[in-house]
Structure 1
């Protein structure tokens, strides 16, 4: 096994890592915003909005990510909407992540005790204020570990974007393999890089959750205790 043939191409590997990180972070940011908006729409708008959100979530969660990516990259041009590989990948990753994140946030929203919502309304808060301060923040605190896991999975799923000629880490690995004919060595190195990326992202998200939600997490635990006592 001649790993030097692979490692000597470290600039290509770093470029692939950089694109993987950019794709993942942009998709995570946009997907989380979209998921939050859909959760608000489901809670604040009428039942028709909930049906639309549910239909979208079921569509994205019950079809393969590769098919969604191909539909955007190869299908939309038939409608006159053309995107390059990176644009199509970002859109597919964002839409896919938003669907899963919406369901995760829904679980957090459903966990909020009814008495907290009634207390917020009794204090003359608007429905929007109740959703933002009484429901959404504690819900995020409770489901942050699940959201973090989904973010890591989305980062790993970015490897599928190599099928539309995006030279992220997996796409770069395919090029190195073709150049060196060192399949095993190439993918051993890439596996190690993905492992480092996934663990680093997980640690960063755990740290971020502790920084953002310390007080809200305490409120969530108190709410759980109140619900059990009731």
Structure 2
């Protein structure tokens, strides 16, 4: 019978904790940049310019209908053929931002289109510009309605980030793979990694819950 031995894991726990920090940092940066891409994409998707709507639509459909692993391989291995080279960490960040931006665009677009047309007409009656209407009338209620879906997508991004280890980017999964190659304690290492990803997911879920209360409940968020 197999005997559990967590000694190799505990002896290298600092390595795994460092990998967890790298994953958190990578995910947070990708979430912030991905949110910016999502908002801009949603604005373009709901604009009155047909070409812009078509261009963003193509971007969204291409990303949503291709595997993330292929996307990151294309960025890291494919783009150097046309003179665009990136480090593994940079390629991982770019791939994550592009991926979450496509999904976030559709989520935010749905929130924007849920805003009653009467509110937008009221803004126009007050001579507000399109940007002012978007800022003061549209984006806050839209984000409130789609916040659970958007943050769920961000949690999925955190878990998906483990794929970047395929191009040797530094993250928790990569550190675990390196440790496994040294110790061959596969069962124990990947069991601990599963627990660590679970804890990170719970941590981000709690963070998003606090942000939601601040933005949409407390007076400062109104």
TM-score class normalised by the smaller sequence: over 0.9
Q: Residues 2 and 36 (structure 1 numbering): CA distance in 2 closer, same or farther, change over 3 Å?
A: same
Check conservation: 2:107, 2:149, Cα contact below 8 A.
yes
Check conservation: 1:44, 1:128, Cα contact below 8 A.
no
Query: Per-residue displacement from partner, 1:5-48 (whole Å, max 9, x unpaired)?
Result: 11210111011111101110110010100111111223335121
Residues 12-161 of structure 1 correspond to what in structure 2 (within 5 A)?
Answer: 12-161=15-164
Check conservation: 1:69, 1:92, Cα contact below 8 A.
yes
Check conservation: 1:145, 1:206, Cα contact below 8 A.
no
RMSD value over aligned CA atoms?
A: 1.6
Check conservation: 2:43, 2:109, Cα contact below 8 A.
no
Check conservation: 1:44, 1:127, Cα contact below 8 A.
no
Report the Cα distance in structure 1 between the residues aligned to 2:198 and 2:174, rounded to whole angstroms: 17
Report the Cα distance in structure 2 between the residues aligned to 1:215 and 1:7, rounded to whole angstroms: 42
Report the Cα distance in structure 2 between the residues aligned to 1:214 and 1:46, rounded to whole angstroms: 35
Report the Cα distance in structure 2 between the residues aligned to 1:45 and 1:9, rounded to whole angstroms: 56
Answering whether residue 213 of structure 2 is matched by residue 188 of structure 1, we say no
Report the Cα distance in structure 2 between the residues aligned to 1:215 and 1:57, rounded to whole angstroms: 34
CA-CA distance at 1:206 after TM superposition: 1.2
Gaps of 5+ in 1: 220-230
Report the Cα distance in structure 2 between the residues aligned to 1:99 and 1:133, rounded to whole angstroms: 24
Gaps of 5+ in 2: none
TM-score (norm. length: structure 2): 0.94
Report the Cα distance in structure 2 between the residues aligned to 1:194 and 1:132, rounded to whole angstroms: 36
Report the Cα distance in structure 2 between the residues aligned to 1:102 and 1:209, rounded to whole angstroms: 19
Report the Cα distance in structure 2 between the residues aligned to 1:167 and 1:123, rounded to whole angstroms: 51
Report the Cα distance in structure 2 between the residues aligned to 1:124 and 1:167, rounded to whole angstroms: 51
TM-score (norm. length: structure 1): 0.91
Report the Cα distance in structure 1 between the residues aligned to 2:83 and 2:45, rounded to whole angstroms: 31
